[in-house]
Amino acid sequence: MQVRCYRCGATMSIKQDEIAFVLQALEEEGGKHYDVRCNRCRHTNRVSLERLRQEASRIRKKEEPKTEE
Ligand SMILES: [Zn+2]
């Protein structure tokens, strides 16, 4: 998953296992977003829980193609 820094435009990538881990942690804590620190300018970018969920479901579909049919 690619996250673009709001301040400098640098692109950070979040790994699939990190997304799964973060989603679980946010749900346990009742958090609404994940803070991603930019490698270039150190600005903290907020990634919404909703976006993480969408990404996780997209990954799941990719990994398990057509198992429901
Ligand atoms: Zn930045």
Closest CA to 49 of 24, 15, 13, 16: 24
Provide mean pLDDT across the span 12-22: 95
Contact 8, 40 (CB under 8 A): yes
Burial (CB < 10 A; 0-12, 13-18, 19+), residue 49, is middle
Going from the Cα of 37 to the center of ligand 1, the distance in angstroms, rounded, reads: 8
- Looking at residue 32, what is its pLDDT? 96
The Å distance, Cα 23 to ligand 1 centre, comes to 23
Give the model's pLDDT for residue 39.
Answer: 93
